[in-house]
Structure formats: structure tokens, C-alpha cells
Amino acid sequence: MTQRIFILILALAGFFLVSASAHAGYEPDPVGYVQEIAGDVVAINTTNKVKRWNHQEECRALGIRGAVFAGDTLVTGYGAKVQIMFLDGSVLVLGAESELLINNLVYDYDRDQDNLLDMSAGAGVFRYISGGIVDRNPNGFQLDTPLGLIGIRGTQTLSVHGGGSNPNGEIAMQLARWFRDPENMSLEEKHAARGVLGNFLPALGNGRNNVTRETQAHVSGSDQTPVVYTHDATGGSVNIPVGTQVDVSNEGTGNPTPITDQTRDAGAGSRQNRNAEVPTSLQSTQGGSDNSGSTSSSSGSSGSSCP
């Protein structure tokens, strides 16, 4: 009888500890930090809820030096831009009215084959400059696009996705207003903010589904290894050499051609600021030196001049 009471007390204690932890939210490990930001940028994360109570943990208005996490869907507003440095020193830049999900990041110095960065992009403009993950595992990077899949090898890529209605600017603007200062929100405001977020979540998927054309450009690379793009509908793959682009539609991909002025203009809002400060948490490694250890979280080298 005494033993049963003791077990019951332990079970109840465990229940209250778990309940308290779940209610308070938790802080998952960041996978990167904001280096530069302009305009409205939000991170929506309904899986790895961070820092907040109740609905507030599902959306954050990002600011300079803010952390980003696996499971974050980043959305930029009208005229906005955000530059993020990941744990391995790679850099992601989103231009205006863009949406991208960070699915998974693993940065492991002991097991090269475990290094991984997996992202999914919707409508918008994106630039990625690879880092330690690709250096250690050239097959460890993939960017899922609305019409296909990109694999890279130590390089800088530019992706432009469009062709249909793009809701990202309005989503970021509205959510940034509601979640700018959640600590000082009243209970009524919190419930209203959750309602606004819930209304916008379906629109994110619609924006991705509305993409009917893409341009994938291989801006620069440390060697001449091409970027590989695989088209979803046809299953066909095309190699994109340095300095070229391919135009993509629902029907398939074109042949590589030199990067055009039109593509350079479209990607201007996603140019990397090479003078941006390395995030404090990464300064000891400069974004990925050989004594940085190993980091895993679930849900490069800079190129030359960029267009």
C-alpha cells in the first residue's frame, strides 16, 4: 500500500512538472541569427514554440540579432529584407514579399555525413551562400521550391519564384503589427492576435501553390561544380553551371543561359551585406571554424560578386 502511494505521488509530481513546462513554453536551440533586417519580418512556428505563452509562441516579429529556429516559417513584408547567418556560417537572404520554411539543420563536426540543411521556399526572392554544412557534406543541402528541388555544392544561388498572387507582404505586415510587443498585450489582444494568425496560415500555402514560374541562378562558386535542379512534375534534372540560370515553368525547365539583367534586377533586394556583423553567439567561430563543436536542430563559403 505504501509503495502504491509513493508511486502515485511520483506520477503526480511528474504530471505537474510536465504541465508547468508545457504551459510556460520552452526555448529550442537556435539554428541561426538575424544579421540585418529592414521592414516587417515575422517567424511563424507552430511546432517548436518559443519564449511565449499561449498563442504568442506561434509567431514572432523578428529584429536585429534575433534567433531563428528549425520549424520557423520566415515571411517578409512589402519592401522588406532579412539576412540570417546559420550556425555553420552560411548565409540566407530573403527579399521582399518572400516566404521560406527552415525544416531541419544539423551541424556536426564529428560525423560529416550527418550535416544537413533542409529548407522549403514559397513565393519570393532568395539567396543562399553555403557554409560548413555543404563543405562537410556536399549532399547535405536541399532547397525545396514550388516547382522543384535544388542541390548545391559550395556555391551561391539566387532563386526568384512568382507568377501568381503573392500574399506574403500583407501577411508579414499584419502579423508584425499584432506580435510586435506581445509581452504587453492584454488578454483580449492575445485572443485577437491568435485569430489573425489562424486566418493567415492557409494563405501561406496558397502563396506557394500560386507559383507558376521560377528562375534559378548559379551566381558564383568555389569550384566549377554545377547546381543541380530537379523538376517535380517531370522528374528531369538539369545542371546549372556558374554564371548561368534556368527558367522553370509547370511544364519543365529550360536550358542554362547566362544570367540576365532582368534576373539581376529581380535579385537586387536579396544581395548579401558582407559587412554585416557576425552574430555574437557565432563570433568565437566566425560562423563556423573547426573548434565550433556540433549542433543539431530539427522541425560556406561566400561567393564572389553577386548580381
- Count Cβ neighbours within 10 Å for each residue of 21-33 and write b for 16 or more, e otherwise: eeeeeeebebbbb
**What is the pLDDT, as a whole number, of residue 57?**
67
Q: Which of 40-44, 199-203, 220-224, 247-251 has the lowest mean pLDDT?
A: 220-224
Q: Residue 145 to residues 39, 55, 123, 151: CA-CA distances in angstroms?
A: 24, 29, 9, 11
Strands (E), 39-154: 41-44, 59-61, 67-68, 73-76, 81-86, 91-94, 99-107, 116-121, 124-129, 141-144, 148-151
Q: Above 90 in pLDDT, residue 39?
A: yes
Nearest to 256 by CA among 233, 237, 234: 237
Please tell me which residue, 296 or 42, carries the higher pLDDT value: 42
| Between 245 and 50, the higher pLDDT residue | 245
Whether the per-residue pLDDT at 14 is higher than 60: the answer is no
pLDDT at 250: 95
What pLDDT score does 230 carry?
97
**Does the reported pTM lie above 0.75?**
yes
C-alpha grid cell, residue 103: 525544416
pLDDT greater than 80 at residue 223: no
pLDDT digits (tens, 9 = 90+) for 53-84: 444 468 999 999 999 999 999 999 999 999 99
Q: What pLDDT does residue 48 have?
A: 63
CA-CA distance, 30 to 65, in Å (whole number)?
11
- Domains, the chain, with CATH or none: 27-276 (2.60.120.1440)
* pLDDT at residue 96, as a whole number: 98
Q: What is the mean pLDDT of the chain?
A: 83
What would the pLDDT profile of 165-216 be if each residue is shown by its tens digit?
899 999 999 999 998 887 788 889 888 988 999 999 888 888 899 999 999 9
Q: Angle CA(142)–CA(233)–CA(230) in degrees, nearest 5?
A: 30
Instruction: Tell me how crowded residue 228 is: count the other CB atoms within 10 A of its CB.
Output: 15
From residue 236, give the alpha-carbon distance in Å to each of 115, 208, 231.
26, 21, 6
pLDDT > 50? residue 304: no
Predicted confidence at residue 8, as pLDDT, reads 36
- What pLDDT was estimated at residue 190? 83
Q: What is the pLDDT of residue 209?
A: 92
pLDDT in tens, 92-144: 999 999 999 999 999 987 888 899 999 999 999 999 999 999 989 988 999 99
Q: Mean pLDDT, to the nearest integer, of 14-34? A: 58
Percent of the chain at pLDDT exceeding 90: 60
Question: Of 251 and 181, which is predicted with more confidence?
Answer: 251
Q: What is the pLDDT of residue 160?
A: 95
Q: Provide the pairing of β-strand 73-76 with 41-44.
A: antiparallel
pLDDT at 287 over 60: no
